[in-house]
Structure 1
Amino acid sequence: MDPTGLDLPPLAAAFVFGLLGGAHCIGMCGGIMSALTFAVPPSMRSPARLSGLLLGYNLGRITSYMVAGALVAGLGTLVALTPQARLALQVLAAVMLILMALYIADWWKGLLRVEALGRRLWTHLEPLGRRLMPVVRVPQAVALGAVWGWLPCGLVYSMLAWSLAIAEPWRGAALMGAFGLGTLPALLATGLAARQLGALIRHPATRSIAALSIIGFALWQLWTLLPLSAGH
């Protein structure tokens, strides 16, 4: 099995990372989710309308993640032209998994330092997003989410590094889609004030168990890449 292939374990790991990285997502996008809720006049603030706006925003956001994943994975096809380059990308993918697990368990926050990479692009996109607010229609929410999907985020960049290692555009898009779906519960909980779900996601035991599972999967990936493992 190709350890950077897209069978269930990588998709599940991407989903779990998005799910348990939700606390960071709330800090980055939670204000926007709340703004979507309160921009609707009280007389029109029905559960169906609010849910439509929140889902529309997240549809746009996840679509941007998938586009970015496809682009980066396409770049990976150009990089991985030799067996040595492919091996290096596979090792990078496993290492990024370990770093992501350390983040979601709150054991190490170094991933957040890479957010500076996208700030220049964001200075051009943020004014566009601001012009879409206040949001009162679903198409507006989708467009706003598509813009906000490019907000500089260490978690997203970490997943994109994994997409680079996959080196197939459709697989990169699928991986980022799984990650984006994982972030949905925390952000929807913020928009709909579902505190119990947010508390479960942030619970230290939940995060530690998930982190250890992801680390175990990453170590298995590294083991399959070791030359000595071929003899077992």
Structure 2
Amino acid sequence: MIDAPGSLLTAFLVGLLGGVHCLGMCGGIVVTLTAGLSGRARSGALTSLPYQLGYNAGRLVGYVFAGILMGGFGAVLTQSLSLQHGQRILYGVSGVVMVLLGLYLADWWRGLGRLEALGSRLWRHIEPLGRRLLPVTSPAHAVALGFAWAWLPCGLVYSVLIWALAAGSAAQGGLLMLSFGLGTLPNLLGIGLLAGAVARVADWTWVRRAAGLLVIGFGLQALWRLTGS
């Protein structure tokens, strides 16, 4: 179960401060998509902005859709077990995932990257569909391609999806993924000085470790609550 709005804020911070990983994973995709636009569309920041917004809007829709599916599945799991027992299991999953995300943000453990291998099979089926959407000819077309992009294997995304499984409902799962997706926007939009500033701040060791400790603290708090319930 998620403890809104604290969990939503935590998911946003994970997206924001995991931006260095996002730039490494998706930065090349952004460059490739921009280079594939017509000469007029990529002639300047303002002319390419509708396409960049389209890519990222589609990506956020994909994240929310996946979060709804996972949150709904978690709710069904809870109902199939005794309610109290199911809630305890999902709350425990939520706490463990937050601890692992905190370790990842602080750069103390990179094991979440192994989740990317699990999604590679799904991506093999989606990637050819994404290729058919190239080249991008309109902002609406960019939204469709962004939706396909959302399913790119990414350990950070998959970790938050597991967290969404423990959200308790489809709506909460969708909100959790939306918060995470919004956190990734400053880095992936890549417009103006703001994005560069966020990327630089997110790369400061003390910022990453402070954020990691904060997220670990939320996870440990959730696990501690289980011992008293």
With normalisation by structure 2, the TM-score equals 0.91
- The answer to whether the 8 Å contact 1:36/1:53 transfers is no
Following the alignment from structure 2 to structure 1, what is the Cα–Cα distance between the partners of residues 27 and 113?
Answer: 17
Match of 2:68 in 1: 70
CA positional deviation for 1:192: 6.1
Aligned counterparts, 1:86-165, within 5 A: 86-165=87-166
Following the alignment from structure 1 to structure 2, what is the Cα–Cα distance between the partners of residues 25 and 104?
Answer: 12
CA positional deviation for 1:23: 1.4
Deviation beyond 6 Å, 4+ runs, structure 1: none
Count matched residues.
224
Aligned amino acid, residue 133 of structure 1: L
Aligned counterparts, 1:1-232, within 5 A: 4-44=1-41, 45-81=43-79, 82=82, 83-189=84-190, 194-227=195-228
What's the % identity of the aligned pairs?
A: 45
Following the alignment from structure 2 to structure 1, what is the Cα–Cα distance between the partners of residues 107 and 133?
Answer: 34
CA positional deviation for 1:37: 2.5
Aligned amino acid, residue 75 of structure 2: T
CA positional deviation for 1:111: 0.5
Pairwise CA RMSD of aligned residues?
A: 1.7
CA positional deviation for 1:5: 3.4
Aligned amino acid, residue 38 of structure 1: A
- The answer to whether the 8 Å contact 2:15/2:183 transfers is yes
- The answer to whether the 8 Å contact 2:97/2:159 transfers is yes
Following the alignment from structure 1 to structure 2, what is the Cα–Cα distance between the partners of residues 42 and 196?
Answer: 28
List alignment gaps of at least 5 residues for structure 2.
none
List alignment gaps of at least 5 residues for structure 1.
none
- The answer to whether the 8 Å contact 1:18/1:183 transfers is yes
Following the alignment from structure 1 to structure 2, what is the Cα–Cα distance between the partners of residues 10 and 62?
Answer: 18
Aligned amino acid, residue 206 of structure 1: V
Aligned-partner SS, 2:218: helix
CA positional deviation for 1:123: 0.7
- The answer to whether the 8 Å contact 1:14/1:178 transfers is yes
Following the alignment from structure 1 to structure 2, what is the Cα–Cα distance between the partners of residues 5 and 103?
Answer: 20
Following the alignment from structure 1 to structure 2, what is the Cα–Cα distance between the partners of residues 32 and 134?
Answer: 13
Following the alignment from structure 1 to structure 2, what is the Cα–Cα distance between the partners of residues 199 and 134?
Answer: 32
Following the alignment from structure 1 to structure 2, what is the Cα–Cα distance between the partners of residues 54 and 203?
Answer: 27
Answer with 149-158 or 215-224: which moved more: 215-224
Following the alignment from structure 1 to structure 2, what is the Cα–Cα distance between the partners of residues 160 and 86?
Answer: 17
CA positional deviation for 1:41: 4.2
Following the alignment from structure 2 to structure 1, what is the Cα–Cα distance between the partners of residues 30 and 137?
Answer: 13
- The answer to whether the 8 Å contact 2:2/2:91 transfers is no
| Cα 1:6/1:171, change in 2 over 3 Å | farther
CA positional deviation for 1:186: 1.3
CA positional deviation for 1:54: 1.0
Deviation by residue 1:19-75 (Cα, 9 ceiling, x = unmatched): 111111112211121123333344442322222111110110111111111111111
Deviation by residue 1:75-95 (Cα, 9 ceiling, x = unmatched): 111211322222011011001
